[in-house]
């Protein structure tokens, strides 16, 4: 399966920032997915309920791969929770809510890549939304509230001849997300875990 000279571009859209209909918002509690061992492949995906009552745009959304920012409110006991990463900000009495990004929000922001659709490789009959967060977590976070600001479309869903080809394409999707999001006008001003601040308005993610 080798590294064919894959012609896919690694940066999508103009540097000036997201364009309509983006950003699209989605929010929900992380649920169990299909249990297919995505984690063993190195690509765990946090599944969110697909519910048009909560996420009106989703019924009409094109199936495929998208990228953007995810925020997570992790419980205090989680190794990556905001209250653990920065307990050094002692100004106020908001115990356990200091984050590396200065706000008093329990939400922390991470880059993400996601799939919305039927996973043609597995021929699902129900539409799923699954988010691969581009961060290495110390523990799972089922039930945590996740918010998404989806900033762009990457590609249509595809069927593949084998799992290796699917995984290779997902790795490129991750690369595309990282590089496209790294630009200033695409990066939240609110701060990102382990990253620089940009000029994009990500206030909804941490409110
Ligand atoms: P499931 O079939 O239940 O979705 P997965 O193998 O896709 O199982 O694993 C998903 C779970 O892994 C998520 O719900 C989350 O709790 C955990 N997880 C750990 N690291 C990540 C990550 N970087 N991105 C997404 N989920 C992660
Ligand atoms: N499944 C598909 O059948 N076709 C795809 O093109 C596809 N693209 C994906 C892209 C990303 C970024 C992610 C996170 C998942 C994608 N999936 C796709 C879903 C994949 O089959 C699912 O996560 C499996 O659980 C991986 O083993
Ligand atoms: Mg999953």
CATH class, range 24-206: mainly beta
By most ligand atoms within 8 Å of CB, the mutation choice from 45, 122, 129 for ligand 1 is 45
Instruction: Please say if 130 is a catalytic residue.
Output: yes
Query: CA of 43: how far to CAs of 94, 167, 178, 198, 200, in Å?
Result: 35, 8, 15, 27, 27
By most ligand atoms within 8 Å of CB, the mutation choice from 28, 35, 39 for ligand 1 is 39
Cα-to-centroid distance, 130 and ligand 3 (Å): 6
Residue ranges around ligand 1 (CB below 6 Å): 30, 32-35, 38-39, 44-47, 132-133, 135, 137, 140-142
Mean pLDDT by runs of 10 across the 207 residues of the chain is 72 98 98 90 96 94 98 97 64 42 81 97 95 98 98 98 95 98 98 97 97
* Long-range own/partner contacts, residues 11-20 (CB < 8 A, 24 or more apart): 11/176, 11/179, 11/180, 11/183, 12/67, 12/152, 12/154, 12/176, 12/180, 13/152, 13/180, 15/183, 15/184, 15/185, 16/185, 17/185, 17/186, 17/199, 17/200, 18/151, 18/152, 18/186, 18/200
Domain boundaries, the chain: 24-206
* Long-range own/partner contacts, residues 55-58 (CB < 8 A, 24 or more apart): 55/25, 55/26, 55/27, 55/28, 57/21, 57/24, 58/26, 58/116, 58/129
**Quick check: 45 and 133 in contact, CB under 8 A?**
no
147 close to ligand 2 (CB < 6 Angstrom): no
Residues with C-beta atoms within 5 A of ion ligand 3: 33, 45, 47, 130
Which is catalytic among the residues 19, 27, 130, 190?
Answer: 130
**Ligand 2 atom with least separation from CA of 120:** 3
Whole-model pTM?
0.92
**Ligand 2 atom with least separation from CA of 37:** 27
């Amino acid at each position: 399966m080798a590294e064919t000279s894959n012609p896919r571009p690694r940066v999508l859209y103009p540097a000036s920032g997201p364009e309509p209909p983006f950003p699209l918002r989605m929010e929900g509690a992380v649920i169990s997915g299909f249990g297919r061992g995505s984690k063993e492949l190195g690509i765990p995906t946090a599944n969110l309920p697909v519910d048009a009552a909560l996420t009106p745009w989703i019924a009409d959304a094109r199936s495929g791969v998208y990228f953007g920012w995810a925020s997570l409110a992790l419980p205090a006991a989680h190794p990556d929770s905001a209250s653990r990463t920065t307990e050094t900000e002692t100004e106020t009495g908001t115990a356990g809510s200091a984050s590396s990004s200065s706000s008093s929000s329990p939400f922390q922001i991470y880059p993400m890549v996601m799939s919305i659709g039927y996973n043609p490789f597995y021929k699902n009959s129900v539409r799923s939304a699954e988010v691969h967060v581009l961060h290495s977590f110390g523990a799972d976070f089922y039930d945590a509230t996740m918010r998404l600001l989806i900033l762009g479309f990457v590609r249509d869903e595809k069927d593949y001849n084998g799992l290796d080809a699917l995984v290779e394409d997902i790795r490129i999707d991750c690369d595309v997300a990282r590089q496209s999001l790294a630009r200033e006008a695409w990066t939240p001003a609110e701060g990102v875990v382990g990253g620089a601040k940009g000029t994009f308005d990500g206030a909804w993610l941490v409110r």
